[in-house]
Structures are given as structure tokens and as C-alpha cells.
A = this chain, B = another copy of it.
């Protein structure tokens, strides 16, 4: 049985944090994640898209109980002139949903199917990050159960 998706993972304990408008030049990502690592913040997802006019947003996820620690580490680094950002947005009302599967690589339809399944339920995708064997999205936490169940059905997995 060649199922491209072998499971759906989910977590409601992660917060999404975004540094709005950081400079797009070498050293900025290191200057952001160095202090977070030193402060013992357990970073999971990291998402950075292309820059426009030399600036871009940097988003990461971390446990909701580490948001204050992360904010302090970043604000301290900003006050010390090591990093600069126009805003720091923390969103603790998210859930991370991932479709996992070894066969994903050649099944670019998996992403389309996952996104279509969420869309059919009226669930907006806030953030996307993927690797060959896993597609992760952040959605509003209130939709977590609905999303997980809909994806189990769409990919014909055992009932959660």
C-alpha cells in the first residue's frame, strides 16, 4: 500500500512569533537565533520568505510557555543594537498541523490535497513550511480538531 501520507501530527502548545521587517543582509538570522538559543528557547519552525526592498519578516515557533523568555531575549538584543525590527508579534492562539510521509517527495499532489482539505473546511492557513517528508502549517487553534479529522479522512488514515 503506497500511501504518501502516513500520519498527521499536531500540537497546540506552540506559539508563532514574528519579527516584522528585519534587514535582509548576512548575519541577521544569526543575530536573531543566537540570543534565542542562549536563552534556551526551543525553536521549532523557522520561516523566512523573500525580501522586498531589503526587508523581510522572520517567523518562528516555540512553546507557548517560552514566549516571554523569547520576547526578552529579542528585546535585549534589540536594545543592545545587535538586531533591529519594526515589530514583534506573538500569537499563542495557533495550532501546528503536519502531514508526514516518506512518499511525499514525488507526490506534489499531497500539498494540494492538504491545502484543499483545509480550505473545504473554511480553515485559513497562516504559515507554511515544508521539507521532503513533512508539510507543516499553522492555523487558528480553534480549528485544530476539525483540521486533524478532515486530514485523517482525506488521506484515509485511521481515525484519530
Most buried by B among A43, A52, A123, A126: A43
Asked whether A45 lies within 8 Å of B127 as measured between CB atoms, the reply is no
Inter-chain contact B127/A24, CB cutoff 8 Å: no
Give A58 to B126 CA distance when docked, in angstroms. 11
- CB neighbors of B among A87-106 (8 A): 89, 98, 105-106
Contact partners of A116 in chain B: CB under 8 A: 27, 30, 34
Q: What separation, in Å, do the CA atoms of A44 and B132 have in the docked complex? A: 6
Q: Is A47 an interface residue (CB 8 A)?
A: yes
Judged by a CB distance under 8 angstroms, whether A84 is at the interface is no
Q: What are the residues of chain B within 8 A of A27 when measuring CB–CB? A: 116, 119
Main SS at interface, chain A: mixed
Which B residues are CB-close (under 8 A) to A24?
Answer: 124
The proximity string for A residues 32-59 relative to B, scoring 1 for CB distances below 8 Å and 0 otherwise, is 1110110011111111111110001111
Question: Which of B29, B33, B131 is close to A134, meaning CB atoms less than 8 Å apart?
Answer: B131
Given A50-B59, A57-B50, A26–B109 Cβ distance below 8 Å? no
A-B CB contact pairs (8 Å), 17 listed: A24-B124, A26-B124, A27-B119, A29-B118, A29-B128, A30-B116, A30-B118, A37-B108, A40-B108, A41-B108, A45-B130, A47-B49, A50-B59, A50-B89, A129-B130, A130-B131, A131-B136
